[in-house]
Chains A and B, each alone.
Chain A
Amino acid sequence: MSATAIIVGVILPPVTFVVFVAAMLSRFWTWKKLPQPGMTLFPTSPKGKTAGVLKETLLFPSLFKSDRFLWAISWLFHAMLVLIIIGHFRVVTDFPWLWGALNIDADTMSTVVGGAAGVMILLMLVLLIGRRFVTTRVREISSPGDYFAVFLLLAIVITGNGMRLAGHFDLAASRQYFASLVMLQWPMVPENGWFLAHLFLAQVLLIYMPFSKIMHFGGVFFTQAAIKRS
């Protein structure tokens, strides 16, 4: 194996895993245990509160009310992201019962849905980045960190699409690689440029995430719950 493959595929993954899990747990634990007195307030009934928080998390109604364009691109971006994350489960496991129930071949599903999601999320990212550059009220509050987050995602999406679209990629080899990683055995890292770049960038994202604004995916439960307190 090349040195790159060993660094990216063997040495980095356990580091990523430890940093990601520890930092995420510590973040959630801290948020959870902090006191919340009642300065922030936005009364609705307790029933409305849980439903309201869920609705905000799944459908972004507040954003819909404010900015339809941003709502559309960010909702599609997040929806595609969820699809893609689910798709990545196939790297370590498979759902034959699901393909059976849908009466569809897993690889066809992967090509059609996964391929479409990969292209769609690329498009949404380009629009989100464009908006950040073009819209004054967004550009004036953006720091290098805000650009870094979207460009990192863009790079991950491009390399991910590259694996699928640019030449042949051996899915079986990558499944074997991840299986070895999970079993704590010495893995055979697939020597594919797209794959190694994708794997590296994804790990950068996982390490960066707990320390960044990407935590809004977990924080939103705390903040929405606070303003929807009964």
Chain B
Amino acid sequence: MGQSPWRLALRRLRRDRIAVAFGILFAVLALMALAAPLWAEVAGRGPNATNETGQIAADGGAIDVVSLDGVPVGPQWRAEYLLGADANGRDVAVRLLYGARNSLLIGIAAALLTTILATLVGLVAGFYGRWVDAVARSALDVIWAFPVVLLGVALGTALALGGLTVGPIDLAAGSIGISIAVIAVVYVPYMARPIRGEVLALREREFVAAARAQGASGPRTMAGELLPNLAPTVVVLAPLMVANAILLEAALSFLGVGVVPPDPSWGNMIDAGTEKLVTAPHLAIAPGLMLVAAVLALNVFGDGVRDALDRRRGAAWGAERP
């Protein structure tokens, strides 16, 4: 009975048709990424299957998949080589979907990890205050001092050869785990700061004091009183975090410290594509468009989520700093 604050927000979100449409767009892209193996079946080759010397049927005759001077064939608009081939004769459309898998997986996993870490740090620092807060803030300030891409690059470079061992977790060099870990850590201050700020404000509210007067312990108060009221802030930041993580992953892969070729990611596909822009523009345009579509969908949807949850009309953004 009654209308919970969540249900009211959901109703408001549903009325924002544009946000919903873009949210569906992102879901569709994610589904397409999941269906990558299916498409590989249809197209007849895997993402890493090279074909430098092959030929395909076109205009009644046969043309080289990769011409003698290294120019790959453009979009064929049919099952095989739907979007053309790359310099090694691999199917661009298939690689695009497998790349989507990697990029989206890394983006979502990193954002999830960031959210968990940032919520923990922000909650504990804001609630306990004093030295706990001082330590947390200093740590955040230090990470904050590095520009995002540079820190990602620094970490990526450092970990590129030997990998990373944190306690029981062993991440091999060049693995997806490294990308996820690097991106997650880099973005923790971006999320922890607003969360901490929110905790500081909530902490002064009387219902928190009331819970303590009723005998609730510190952790109990954090979980029962603060966390549910933090949820809107977290939910608003989450899509933006995923968008940023995807962009950072692409940037790192573009620079060579993310997903290592031959495994595809939108970033390294754009990197390879920019070298052949003159002769084969489709190589850079295709992954770029898909990347923009995914990120834009998240941003528009995230905007709609914020409008639905954040009663105050213009909470300043903290999250998509370039």
A and B interact = no
Residues of B within 8 A of A (CB): none
Interface residues of A, Cβ cutoff 8 Å to B: none
